[in-house]
Structure 1
Amino acid sequence: MNILVAPDKFRGSLEAVEVCDAVTDGIKKAYPNAKVTAIPLADGGEGTSKILTQQANGSEVTVTVMDPLNRPVKAIYGLSEDHQVAFIEMAAASGLGLLKTEERNPLRTSTFGTGQLIVDALDRGVKKIILGIGGSATTDGGIGMAEALGYAFKDSEGHTLLPNGQSLEKIASIDKHNADPRLALVSVIVACDVTNPLFGKEGAAYVYGPQKGADPDMVVQLDQGLENLTQVATRAFGRDVSQVPGAGAAGGLGAGCMWFLNAVLKDGISIVMEQCNISSLVEKADLVITGEGKVDEQTLAGKVVKGLAGLCKNHHVPLAVVCGTLQITPGQARDAGMTYAVSVLNRPMDLNAAQSEAFRLVSDATFQLMRLFFFNRGVV
């Protein structure tokens, strides 16, 4: 019996690799002879770089860069074993988690540090960059990242602007003369798990600005700035990418990557599953077990569980889902391709208790589903 274990993290409780261990523990208690292959997954957000680095037998690099408010911070990214591929998370340099709540202000924050990580990877001779852009503290359209790579942004009088959200509405021209020429020699793939356009009511400022500290007036200012950036960048690069799904991700970094890095935006979970060769593992499995902290309607829109459900459906392999909170109906689970879905909570408990007992809860829930699975097949 071949079982593939391929979960996302349970945010605040277990990292994806710990979920793998807990699920494997439950499987072995129920069926000690099962052959288990465990692959931790991510959807392009936090943890993606580490997982991809591990799958590539790579190593981690620590670099001092500027945080969202231009203060030195140590950031980590990954290199593949052959040093040809860099796995970078913008959150390591430009993430919301680097700021105190009172420091959040997308008019002031910048993605400059993310650009510094890219420069370091270029210095090491990489040929490909996979960039995860979840968890940002910024709404600068990627101009901070671009400045670190040699671009300059100028106002109507030719003065160079600071690369932050406040400058967006003042940009009149983009100076590309000193842009790093090595960008033409690398391919950049951006792992993106949202589909928002760059500006407008569904854009970066209106949808995500408030969680980064923007008040209503800031939201309007940032949205107008992103629209202005669109006009200027479209003239400079000959294409308008503002409506491409994901252009508004990470405060417009999605669009910035397409303009300044000539990057391709891809669904985050698709990138991770491709790098981990998940399709062939699913094909060989008798059962796939996945999970994440919360399974809800967002899950059905493109998270790890949804990505695996599609593969399992194609290969006619049953998919079991364990989660902390289950907020979809049986009909939604069925339609999404889930064979079995269950919350690991076995009694009323508060969040602290659930998080502290997470490993055991996941193991126990897995044990129960395995007993049911094998009983239905006449094994136990």
Structure 2
Amino acid sequence: MRVVIAIDSLKGSLPSLEAGSTIAEGIKKVYPDAEIRISPLADGGEGTAEALTLGLKGTWQSLSVTGPLGEPQPASYGILPDGKTAVLEMASAAGITLVEPEKRNPMKTTTYGVGEMIRDAIEKGCRHFIVGIGGSATNDGGIGMLQALGFEMLDKEGNQVPFGGEGLSVLHKIKAEHVMEELKDCTFRIACDVTNPLCGPIGASAVYGPQKGADAEMVTKLDGLLGRCAFLAKELNPEADPEAPGTGAVGGLGFAFLTFTNAVLESGIRIVMEETHLEELVQDADLVVTGEGCLDGQTVQGKAPVGVAGLAKKYGKPVIAFSGIVKKDASACNEAGIDAFFPILRRVTTLEEAMKPENARENLLETSEQVFRLVRAMADKRKE
């Protein structure tokens, strides 16, 4: 029995690799001689940097950066074994969870710390970047990140503009004379599954601004400021396109990456599967195991388990999924390539108890063992 396990984290309970190892332990109770390969899995969001770094045996880096409100903030990212590839999540430096709800204000919050993370990795020799850009507290069009990399965001007097939307409101000129020399040699794979343009009714400010603390008046103001920023950006890069899909991601950070760096926006799960060479593992498997914390109708909309299932079906491999909970509309997952899915809850309990790591691990271990007992029973029956 050759099994490939690629399961997303059970958020709040078990990270990807621990969930995979727990499933493997359950399988070994039934198939002691099974050949099991565990591949880290994430969809580009929370946990991606850790899953890739630890799963590929990279090294974890810690540093202090400028947080979303301009205060020192501990942050971390990974460097893969090649020493040239950095994996980071912008939320580590500018995430919305770093700002208390009553303090959320996109006129103040900045992506400067994201640029500091990139700068740190460049100074350590990295030239290739995998960046998860979900969950931000910012709507600054990425100007903070660019300032940290050496771009000059200047007001009419030639001074650097302040952080956040306030900086956008006085931005007059963008200059690149003092940008890090090494930036031109860097490539960025940006995990981005949204297609919003920079401005307009489905742009960065209108769609995501309110959850970051913007009221209706501020949304209108920020939308106009991002449009003006895009106009100024064209002076440096005539190809700047605020209408391009994904430019509105993370308060316009998608636009900053596409306009001022050698970047591409890609599906997060595709990036992870390619970086982990999951396709090569799947080709030789008898069975593929995947899953995530909650399986539902949204899982089929670009989530990690369905990405794994699609890859497995390319080679005709059966797919089993485990999940903390399964919602009524999860049947869509069957149509998307997951042959059977199993919730791991085994007794009536509270959500708090179910999400305790020790309980989640026990439930996942017991469920995987029982599922593979069924797999073995069916295999034995076919041999008769």
TM class by shorter chain equals over 0.9
Q: Are 1:365 and 2:363 matched, yes or no?
A: no
Instruction: Name the amino acid aligned to 1:270.
Output: R
Question: Secondary structure of 1:263's match?
Answer: strand
Within 5 Å, which residues of 2 pair with 1:43-122?
43-122=43-122
Counterpart of 1:226 in structure 2 is: 226
Counterpart of 2:209 in structure 1 is: 209
Q: Quick check: 1:43–1:193 contact (8 Å CA) kept in 2?
A: no
Task: After TM superposition, give the deviation of residue 245 of structure 1 in Å.
Answer: 2.7
Within 5 Å, which residues of 2 pair with 1:158-177?
158-177=158-177
Q: Quick check: 1:153–1:163 contact (8 Å CA) kept in 2?
A: no
Q: Could you tell me how far apart the structure 2 residues matched to 1:56 and 1:359 are?
A: 22
Question: Secondary structure of 2:300's match?
Answer: helix
How big is each residue's C-alpha offset from its partner over 1:101-120, in whole Å with a ceiling of 9 and x where there is no partner? 22221111001011011111
Q: Quick check: 1:169–1:226 contact (8 Å CA) kept in 2?
A: no
Q: Quick check: 2:89–2:132 contact (8 Å CA) kept in 1?
A: yes
Instruction: Name the amino acid aligned to 2:87.
Output: F
Q: Quick check: 2:295–2:330 contact (8 Å CA) kept in 1?
A: no
Task: After TM superposition, give the deviation of residue 4 of structure 1 in Å.
Answer: 0.9
Counterpart of 2:282 in structure 1 is: 282
Percentage of matched positions with identical amino acids: 41
Q: Could you tell me how far apart the structure 2 residues matched to 1:207 and 1:378 are?
A: 54
Gaps of 5+ in 2: none
Q: Could you tell me how far apart the structure 2 residues matched to 1:292 and 1:361 are?
A: 14
Cα-Cα RMSD: 2.0
Q: Quick check: 2:189–2:265 contact (8 Å CA) kept in 1?
A: yes
Instruction: Name the amino acid aligned to 1:322.
Output: F
Counterpart of 2:153 in structure 1 is: 153
Counterpart of 1:352 in structure 2 is: 352
Q: Could you tell me how far apart the structure 2 residues matched to 1:350 and 1:224 are?
A: 46
Counterpart of 1:323 in structure 2 is: 323
Q: Could you tell me how far apart the structure 2 residues matched to 1:255 and 1:174 are?
A: 14
Q: Quick check: 1:62–1:75 contact (8 Å CA) kept in 2?
A: yes
Q: Quick check: 2:142–2:252 contact (8 Å CA) kept in 1?
A: yes
Q: Could you tell me how far apart the structure 2 residues matched to 1:98 and 1:327 are?
A: 30
Question: Secondary structure of 1:129's match?
Answer: strand
Question: Secondary structure of 1:255's match?
Answer: helix
Q: Could you tell me how far apart the structure 1 residues matched to 2:17 and 2:56 are?
A: 16
Task: After TM superposition, give the deviation of residue 348 of structure 1 in Å.
Answer: 3.7
Q: Could you tell me how far apart the structure 1 residues matched to 2:56 and 2:342 are?
A: 32
Gaps of 5+ in 1: none
Which region of structure 1 is more displaced relative to structure 2, 39-48 or 309-318?
39-48
Q: Could you tell me how far apart the structure 2 residues matched to 1:310 and 1:276 are?
A: 16
Q: Could you tell me how far apart the structure 2 residues matched to 1:347 and 1:216 are?
A: 46
Question: Secondary structure of 2:161's match?
Answer: coil
How big is each residue's C-alpha offset from its partner over 1:11-50, in whole Å with a ceiling of 9 and x where there is no partner? 1111112211221222223333322111221111122122
Q: Could you tell me how far apart the structure 2 residues matched to 1:374 and 1:241 are?
A: 55
How big is each residue's C-alpha offset from its partner over 1:162-199, in whole Å with a ceiling of 9 and x where there is no partner? 13123324433211222222111121221223332222
Q: Quick check: 1:96–1:135 contact (8 Å CA) kept in 2?
A: yes
Instruction: Name the amino acid aligned to 1:312.
Output: A
Which region of structure 1 is more displaced relative to structure 2, 94-103 or 8-17?
94-103
Counterpart of 1:299 in structure 2 is: 299
Counterpart of 1:375 in structure 2 is: 377
How big is each residue's C-alpha offset from its partner over 1:246-274, in whole Å with a ceiling of 9 and x where there is no partner? 22222211111111223111111111111
Q: Quick check: 2:258–2:264 contact (8 Å CA) kept in 1?
A: yes
Instruction: Name the amino acid aligned to 1:85.
Output: T
Counterpart of 2:241 in structure 1 is: 241
Q: Name the CA shift for 1:325/1:246 in 2 (closer, same or farther; >3 Å).
A: farther
TM-score (norm 2): 0.92
TM-score (norm 1): 0.93
Task: After TM superposition, give the deviation of residue 77 of structure 1 in Å.
Answer: 1.6
Q: Name the CA shift for 1:345/1:201 in 2 (closer, same or farther; >3 Å).
A: farther
Question: Secondary structure of 2:380's match?
Answer: coil
Within 5 Å, which residues of 2 pair with 1:126-141?
126-141=126-141
Q: Quick check: 2:297–2:331 contact (8 Å CA) kept in 1?
A: no
Q: Could you tell me how far apart the structure 1 residues matched to 2:193 and 2:376 are?
A: 35
Q: Name the CA shift for 1:279/1:167 in 2 (closer, same or farther; >3 Å).
A: same
Q: Could you tell me how far apart the structure 1 residues matched to 2:246 and 2:372 are?
A: 38
Instruction: Name the amino acid aligned to 1:326.
Output: V
How big is each residue's C-alpha offset from its partner over 1:227-246, in whole Å with a ceiling of 9 and x where there is no partner? 22222223431123323332
Q: Quick check: 1:173–1:232 contact (8 Å CA) kept in 2?
A: yes
Q: Quick check: 1:169–1:224 contact (8 Å CA) kept in 2?
A: no
